[in-house]
Amino acid sequence: MLLFPTLFLLGILPWIALCADDFYKLLGIEKDASDREIKRAYRTLSKKFHPDKNPNDESAHAKFVSIAEAYDALIDPETRRIYDQYGHDGLKQHQQGGGRGGQHHDPFDLFSRFFGGSGHFGHGGGERRGHNMEVRISIPLRDFYNGAETEFTIEKQAICSACEGSGSKDGAVETCNVCGGRGMRVQKHMLAPGIFQQVQSMCDACGGKGKTIKHPCPVCGGARVVREPETHQLHVERGMPKGVRITYENEADESPDWVAGDLIVQLQELEPKMESGDALKLDGNFFRRRGRDLFWREVLSLREAWMGDWERNVTHLDGHVVRLGRDRGDVVQPGMVEIVKGEGMPIWDREEQEGDEDEFGALHVEYVVVLPDQMETGMEKEFWSTWEKWRKKHGVDLHKDSGRPAPKSHDEL
């Protein structure tokens, strides 16, 4: 009677093993990944799926635990060899047999070894917290108008992944025998016979750390931290104002001695310039922005300003066309500003809900009239004759109409 259940269990065990997440795929690494690549993958993913950054998200919490389990199995040469050869089932048997693989790490304890603190993002009460970092990222105006998904890279202080922040090549860290682990030394100085002064100073034997290392880590040289580039995703929402600050929690400089502060990104606008490629040849690249409104300067010839009968197509920041023009006989005064409603910046709202219609500011078009440097003789004569006929017909005298006193004659001078 027991034969069938036994055969059934033996048959489904391989399927159970297949259903478990592959540790390499879980960390996003190849099977021949180095220890440093494994540590780098853990550092990135553990921050992404940490429960503090994903509150009330059970799937993120489960992923955080799985990532810690995968790292714990692959970073040790023995358990990695067993996993590579026998998979999850072999690793489980090794754990049950009392091997090192049975020593499961608390995922939060493992996290704290990499990033300092209690394993949480600044929620440990009296934990020390590092300074915030602020950087400025410049993006073109079209990204403020359209919104954008891009990346940026900064150089920051990171906990050394090779030694997990211990500073030791073999992981061995000893208490300083000079200061007894306090990091400070108290020395007596005699000021006069029978009169002493106690002076407390940082222990020069351990540099105030209270710990000493016999075999420094070859990557960080025992400093426990390294300088390295780190890439972040930047999400720019439509209509965001210049100077807006975007906060990346706990992404500032790291140290084993404190919880990382926040990385604050301030968005600035790039100066307009000619772009290569047909897709980027937009007149809107040279718009100027003030709040929710955009400003554009359109140049007209004397004939266009005076006689009308012209049309312009201005290519906006998203490629749609704004049409400007005047009928024949419509005069445009130099410096005149035309306001085109609904052609300015999208109005940004932090509380905007999905499905809400976008609202836009206005486009202010300033007309600049360019006069000719000189006129050809024939054109000047025809223009003067036409003007004189019109003036005499309508009795226009610009000097008298101005109300100013007449100029004195040469005899009066």
Closest of 43, 46, 29, 269 to residue 156, by C-alpha: 43
In-domain check, residue 400: yes
Q: How far apart are the first and last CA of the chain?
A: 137
Beta carbons of 218 and 168 less than 8 angstroms apart: no
Same domain, 387 and 364: no
How big, in percent rounded to 5, are the helix, strand and coil portions of the chain?
A: 30, 30, 40
Task: Tell whether pTM > 0.85.
Answer: no
Same domain, 283 and 352: yes
In-domain check, residue 191: no
In-domain check, residue 121: no
Q: Measured between alpha carbons, how far is 259 from 85 in angstroms, rounded to an integer?
A: 38
Would you state the structure tokens that stand for residue 235, as one six-digit string? Answer: 């999400």
Same domain, 400 and 362: no
Number of domains in the chain: 3
CATH number of the structural domain spanning residue 58: 1.10.287.110
The residue range of the domain holding 71 is 17-105
In-domain check, residue 303: yes
pLDDT tens for the chain, 413 residues long, are 444 444 443 444 444 444 457 899 998 999 888 887 888 788 888 888 888 888 888 888 889 889 988 888 888 889 999 888 888 888 888 877 665 544 556 787 777 767 666 666 665 555 678 899 999 999 999 999 999 999 999 999 988 888 878 888 887 888 888 887 787 887 777 777 777 777 888 888 787 777 888 888 999 988 889 999 988 899 999 999 999 999 988 889 988 888 888 999 999 999 887 766 555 678 888 999 999 999 999 999 988 999 999 999 999 999 999 999 999 999 999 999 999 999 999 999 866 555 567 899 999 999 999 988 887 888 888 888 888 888 777 777 766 766 677 776 655 54
Beta carbons of 356 and 342 less than 8 angstroms apart: no
In-domain check, residue 227: no
CATH number of the structural domain spanning residue 303: 2.60.260.20
3-class SS string, 246-299: EEECCCCCCECCEECCCEEEEEEECCCCCCCCHHHCCHHHHCEEECCEEEEEEE
Instruction: Return the number of other C-beta atoms located less than 10 Å from residue 269's C-beta.
Output: 16
SS3 244: coil
Same domain, 357 and 385: no
Same domain, 304 and 384: no
Beta carbons of 61 and 51 less than 8 angstroms apart: yes
List the strands of the sheet with 293-301, edge to edge: 288-290, 293-301, 360-370, 337-346
